[in-house]
Structure 1
Amino acid sequence: MSIASTLNNALSGLTAAARSTEVVSNNIANAMTEGYGRREIMLSSVAVAGQGAGVRIDGIQRIVDQTAIAGRRLAAGAEAHASVDAGFHAGLERVTGLPGDPGALGTLFAEFSATLAEAQSRPDDASRLAAVAGSADRLIGQFNLISTEIQTARMTADREIANQVREVNDTLARIADLNGQIRLLQGAGRDPSGLLDERQRLIDRVSEIIPIREVPREGGQVALYTPNGSALLDGRPAELGFTATGYIDPAMTIGSGALSGLTLNGRAVATAGDSAPLAGGSLAAQFSVRDEWAVTADAQIDALARDLIERFADPSVDPTLAPGAPGLFTDAGAALDPAEEPGLAGRLALNALVDPDQAGTHWRLRDGLGAAAPGPVGEAGLLIAMSDALAADRTPVTGDWATPGDAAGLAAAFLSDVSARQQSAEADQTHAAFLVEGYLRDERALGVDTDQEMQKLLLIEQAYAANARVMQTADDMIARLLEI
C-alpha cells in the first residue's frame, strides 16, 4: 500500500469520526426533545483493487419504533377524548354541588324544606315566612347557575371546535409541505432527519385532535387516514370546515340547523358513533359536549325545574290560585308553558306576589298566592301542603328518570348521574394514559440512551486518535524520504 493510499485511508477515517461525533452529540443534546428520533451513522468500507481504501459514509439513519408510535397516537386520541368528557362532567358536578356542600342543589332543597317546617310551627312569625321566601330564592338561583354553566360549556366547546379545526387545517398543510421537502432531500441524497422529526411532532399533535394512522409513501412521504378510513392527507391535505356560533341558547341544536356541523372537503361528516369518520379525539369530544352531553344535562335540569313548578302550581296545594296562574315557582314570572321547556331552569323565578322587592308580601306564603287579604295568622295549612308537595314522590314528565322521587331525591339522582359519567370518563382517561405511557416506553427503548452515546464517543475518540496517528506516521515517513 502506498503512502498516498495510507493518507487517504486515514483521512476518510478522520472524516467518518468527525461526522460520527456530530451525530452522537446531536443525539445527546436532543435526548429530551419531543419527536426526536435517534440517529445512527451508516458506514461501509471502500476497497480498490483488493486494497483497503478507507471508509465511506453511506448516510444517516433515523431510528424510531413506528409500531409504538402508531399505538401511542391512537391512545393519545382516546385520552384527549376522555379528558374533555371528564372535564365537562367534573365542571357540572362542581356547579351542582356535592351533598352537604354549602350552596349545593341538594343542600338548598334541604334548607327550603327546613324553613317550611319552621314556618309551620309559627305561621304568625314574619321572619320565618321571610326565611321560606329567601331559601326558595336561593334554590332558584342555583337552578339558574347550573343552566348558565351548561350553556357556557356549550359555547366554549363551539369556540374550541373552531380553534381545533383551524389548527388541523394549518397543521395538515405544514405536513404536506414537509412531505415535499423530505422527498426532495432524499432524492438529492441528503439527510432529512430534522424534517422527519418535525413532521412526527406535527402528526402527533393532529392525532390528539383526530385519531390517525400513518401510511408510508414513496420518497419518504406519508399519508394520513382516520381509523375509519377517511383521508386527511394523501398527496394533498384535506380541509375541515366549521362555522362558529357566537351565542348558543338551550333551544339551539345541530338537529334544528341552528348550529354548524363539521365538513370534510365540503361534505358533512359525523363525529359521534363508532363508525363516524372522525370519531374519537378531542374534536369529536367537543362536539359531544355541545350537542350531546350538555344537551342531556340541560334537559334533565329543565325537567327538575318543571317538576318543581308543577308541585307548587297544583290547586290542591294552594286553592287560592286562579286557573292558569303560576304557583310559588314560575317561568320568568309566568305560568309554565310545556312547549317552552328548553332553558326553563335558567328562567326559573320566584313568584312576585311573595317577593317584597317586587311589591309582594310574605303573608301570601301562609294565606295563599291568590288571597285578597291576610287570613288568620295561626293557619299553617298551606305551609303544610307545600311541605307535602315537596316531599311527594313523582316522576318528572320529561327527562330520563329511573325511578320516582321527592324533589330532593330527584336532585340527588341528577347529581348521581353526572358523577357516574365523570367517574367513567376518568377511568377511560386513566386507561388511555397507561396505554400512552406503555407505548412511550417502547419508543424510548429505541430512543437516545445517553450512557450508550457517551460510550460511543469514547470509541469514536479512539478511532480518531488511531487515524490521526496513522497520518502522523505517514507524514514522518514522507519527511524522512525528503531528507534522503
Structure 2
Amino acid sequence: MNLSTALNNAMTGLTATSRGASVVSGNIANALTPGYAKRSLELTTSLISGNGVRTAGIIRHQDPVLTANRRATDADLAHHSAKSDFHTRFEGFVGTPEDPTSISNRLVGFESSLITATSLPDSVERLDQVARSGRDLAASLDRASEGLRQLRSDADRTIGAQIASLNQTLKDIEDLNARIPAIRHSGGDINAFLDQRQVLIDQVNELIPVNVVPRDIDRVSLYSDGGLILLEGKAAEFSFTTTGDTQPHMTVANGLLSGLEMNGNPVRTGGDTAQIRGGALAAQFEIRDQLAPKAQVQLDTVARDLVERFETPGLDPTLLATDPGLFTDAGNRLDPTAITGLASRISLNSSVDPDAGGDSWRLRAGLGAAAPNDPGDSSQLQAFSAILDSARPVVGALFGTGTMRAAEITEAMMSRVGANVHVADQRRSFATGAQQQMAQLEVEQGVDTDQELQRLMQIEQAYAANARLISVVDELMETLLRL
C-alpha cells in the first residue's frame, strides 16, 4: 500500500467516523422522542479508488409488526378510557349508596319523612319536611338528567373537534407522502420526515385504528379496521355537524343529530359493522348514541315509576282522573307517549310545596282538597307511604321481570350504574397494562443508550486510529522530502 492509498483510507475513515458519531449522538439525544426510530450508518467501499470507505446511507430501523401491535393497544386504551370516564362521571351524578344526596338516599329520606309525618299529621313542620324531601328527590333526578345531557353534549362537541383534527392530520400525511420521494430523489435525508409521519399516523390511529400499507417510493396508504380508505394517494375528508347542545329526544334517526360522512358518503359508526370501530372517535359516538340514551332510559324509568305511583286511581280521592299526582311531568299529568327526558321534567306538585306558594296540609287532606281536614287524620299520608312500599311491575322490564318497590327500582338502577363503572374500569386497566407492555417492547427495540455509548467509544477509537495514520503519513512525507 502506497502513501496516497493510506492517506485516502485514513481521510475517508475520518469522514465515516465523524458521520457515525453524529448518528450515534442523534440516537442518544432522541431516545425518548415520540416517533423516533434508531439509525445506523451503512458503509461501503469507495467506488472511485477501490480503497477507503464511503457512507452509503443512514438506515432507519423499525419493526412494522411491533409498531402495528402497539398502535392497536393505543387505540384500545383511548376507546376504553373515554367510556370509563363517561360511566364514572354519570355515577357521580346519580350518586353512590354512601352519598347522602344520591337518588336512592333521597327516596329513603322522602319515605322516612312520610312515616314521620304520619305519626304526627297535625305538625306543619313535618308536613313541610315531606314536601321538601319530595322536592329534593325530584331535583336529584333533574340534576342527574341534566348532567347526563351535558355528557352527551360534550361527546357531540368532542366528535366535532376530533373530526377537524382527523381531517388535518390526514392532509398532513398526504403532504408528507408527496414530499418524501422528492427529498429522496434530491439526495436528502428523509428519516426525520419518516419520524414525523409516524407520529401523525399514531394520531390518526388513536381516533380510528388504522392499517398501514407501504407503497412505492416511501409512501404509505391508510385503511381503517372497518374497511374505510383513509388515505390512498389522496386523503379522505370526513364531515360532521356539531350540535353542541343536545336534548334527550335528539337522535341521528330523527335527523336532530348529525351522523358521520366520508367524502359525502355515510359512515357506519355503531354496531358490529361499524366502519370506525375501536379508537377514541368510535367511543364518543357510542357515548352519544348508545350509552347516554340507555342511561336516560334508566333515569326516565325511575321518574315514571314515581309519577305513576302517585297517579294510581283511588290513591287520592280528592283528585280528578285528569289531575296530576304528587309528582308531575313539568306540572302536568304523565303522558305515556312522551316519556323520553321525563327525569329532567319531573317535579313535586306545586300545590303542596310551601316554598312554591302551595300548602303542605294538602299532603294530609288530599291534593285537591278545598280546606284542611281533621288535623289528626293520617290516612292520606299512610296511603302515600304505602304506595311507595307496594311492589309493582317495571315498564319495559328494564330491571327485571318481577314486581319491585320504589326503593328497589332506584337501588337496581344505581347497582347497574355501579356495575358499569366497575366493568369499564377493569377494561381500561387491562388496556392500560397492554399498552404499557407494548410501548415497553417498542422502546426495547428502539434506542439502547448503553449500546450507543459503546458504539461511540468504538468510533472514537477508530477516529484516533485514522488520525494517527494521517500523522504517520505526514511524518513519512516529511522524511522523504528531506532525503
Quick check: TM above 0.5?
yes
- 1:403-440 CA-partner distances (Å, limit 9, x unpaired): 43111111111112122222222222222222222222
Residue 408 of structure 1: aligned partner: 407
Residue 161 of structure 1: aligned partner: 159
Query: 2: distance between equivalents of 1:423 and 1:151?
Result: 22
Query: 2: distance between equivalents of 1:421 and 1:222?
Result: 40
Once the two structures are TM-superposed, the CA of residue 189 in structure 1 deviates from its matched residue by 3.6
Secondary structure of 1:339's aligned partner: coil
Residue 479 of structure 1: aligned partner: 478
Residue 18 of structure 1: aligned partner: 18
- 1:211-259 CA-partner distances (Å, limit 9, x unpaired): 1111111111111111122110111101111000132111111110111
2:30 equivalent to 1:30: yes
For residues 421-460 of structure 1, the aligned pairs below 5 Å read 421-460=420-459
* Greater mean deviation of Cα atoms: 362-371 or 180-189: 180-189
Secondary structure of 1:374's aligned partner: coil
Query: 1: distance between equivalents of 2:263 and 2:420?
Result: 34
Secondary structure of 1:340's aligned partner: coil
Cα pair 2:154 2:244 within 8 Å, conserved: no
Residue 42 of structure 1: aligned partner: 42
For residues 70-219 of structure 1, the aligned pairs below 5 Å read 70-219=68-217
User: What code does the residue aligned with 1:476 have?
Assistant: E
Secondary structure of 1:205's aligned partner: helix
Query: 1: distance between equivalents of 2:177 and 2:422?
Result: 42
Query: 1: distance between equivalents of 2:270 and 2:433?
Result: 24
Q: Structure 1's 466 and 312: CA in aligned 2 closer, same or farther, altered over 3 A?
A: same
Once the two structures are TM-superposed, the CA of residue 47 in structure 1 deviates from its matched residue by 7.0
Cα pair 1:143 1:305 within 8 Å, conserved: yes
Secondary structure of 1:224's aligned partner: strand
TM-score (norm 1): 0.97
Query: 1: distance between equivalents of 2:127 and 2:397?
Result: 32
Residue 7 of structure 2: aligned partner: 7
Secondary structure of 1:108's aligned partner: helix
Query: 2: distance between equivalents of 1:229 and 1:238?
Result: 13
TM-score (norm 2): 0.97
User: What code does the residue aligned with 1:226 have?
Assistant: S
Query: 2: distance between equivalents of 1:332 and 1:248?
Result: 19
Once the two structures are TM-superposed, the CA of residue 321 in structure 1 deviates from its matched residue by 0.9
User: What code does the residue aligned with 2:15 have?
Assistant: T
Residue 388 of structure 2: aligned partner: 390
Secondary structure of 2:222's aligned partner: strand
Once the two structures are TM-superposed, the CA of residue 323 in structure 1 deviates from its matched residue by 1.5
User: What code does the residue aligned with 2:344 have?
Assistant: G
Query: 2: distance between equivalents of 1:347 and 1:123?
Result: 29
Query: 2: distance between equivalents of 1:66 and 1:253?
Result: 40
Residue 466 of structure 1: aligned partner: 465
Query: 2: distance between equivalents of 1:271 and 1:425?
Result: 20
Residue 249 of structure 2: aligned partner: 251
Q: Which runs of 5+ in 2 are unaligned?
A: none
Query: 2: distance between equivalents of 1:55 and 1:368?
Result: 103
Once the two structures are TM-superposed, the CA of residue 114 in structure 1 deviates from its matched residue by 0.6
User: What code does the residue aligned with 2:32 have?
Assistant: M
Cα pair 2:269 2:285 within 8 Å, conserved: yes
Q: Which runs of 5+ in 1 are unaligned?
A: none
Query: 2: distance between equivalents of 1:347 and 1:274?
Result: 35
User: What code does the residue aligned with 1:31 have?
Assistant: A
Query: 1: distance between equivalents of 2:334 and 2:398?
Result: 20
Query: 1: distance between equivalents of 2:228 and 2:350?
Result: 57
- 1:33-60 CA-partner distances (Å, limit 9, x unpaired): 11110111111233778xx611111110
Residue 356 of structure 1: aligned partner: 354
Query: 1: distance between equivalents of 2:15 and 2:333?
Result: 89
User: What code does the residue aligned with 2:164 have?
Assistant: R
Once the two structures are TM-superposed, the CA of residue 191 in structure 1 deviates from its matched residue by 2.0
Query: 2: distance between equivalents of 1:463 and 1:311?
Result: 90
Cα pair 1:46 1:53 within 8 Å, conserved: yes
User: What code does the residue aligned with 1:329 have?
Assistant: F
Runs of 4 or more above 6 Å deviation? none
- 1:144-181 CA-partner distances (Å, limit 9, x unpaired): 00110111011111100000000000000101111112
Cα pair 1:7 1:471 within 8 Å, conserved: yes
* Greater mean deviation of Cα atoms: 34-43 or 437-446: 437-446
Residue 318 of structure 1: aligned partner: 316
Residue 338 of structure 1: aligned partner: 336
**How many residues in Structure 1 have an aligned counterpart in Structure 2?**
482
User: What code does the residue aligned with 2:124 have?
Assistant: A
Query: 1: distance between equivalents of 2:229 and 2:146?
Result: 38
Residue 261 of structure 1: aligned partner: 259
Cα pair 2:131 2:354 within 8 Å, conserved: no
Once the two structures are TM-superposed, the CA of residue 27 in structure 1 deviates from its matched residue by 0.6
Residue 234 of structure 2: aligned partner: 236
Secondary structure of 2:286's aligned partner: helix
Query: 2: distance between equivalents of 1:57 and 1:259?
Result: 59
- 1:270-297 CA-partner distances (Å, limit 9, x unpaired): 1112321111111111111111110111
Cα pair 1:68 1:440 within 8 Å, conserved: no
Cα pair 1:82 1:429 within 8 Å, conserved: yes
User: What code does the residue aligned with 1:163 have?
Assistant: A
Taking every aligned residue pair, what percent have the same amino acid on both sides? 44
Query: 1: distance between equivalents of 2:472 and 2:382?
Result: 112
Once the two structures are TM-superposed, the CA of residue 463 in structure 1 deviates from its matched residue by 0.2
Cα pair 1:176 1:237 within 8 Å, conserved: yes
Query: 2: distance between equivalents of 1:47 and 1:346?
Result: 81
Query: 2: distance between equivalents of 1:70 and 1:48?
Result: 42
* Greater mean deviation of Cα atoms: 428-437 or 339-348: 428-437
Query: 2: distance between equivalents of 1:200 and 1:317?
Result: 69
Cα pair 2:70 2:442 within 8 Å, conserved: no
Secondary structure of 2:337's aligned partner: helix
Secondary structure of 1:53's aligned partner: coil
Query: 2: distance between equivalents of 1:16 and 1:307?
Result: 81
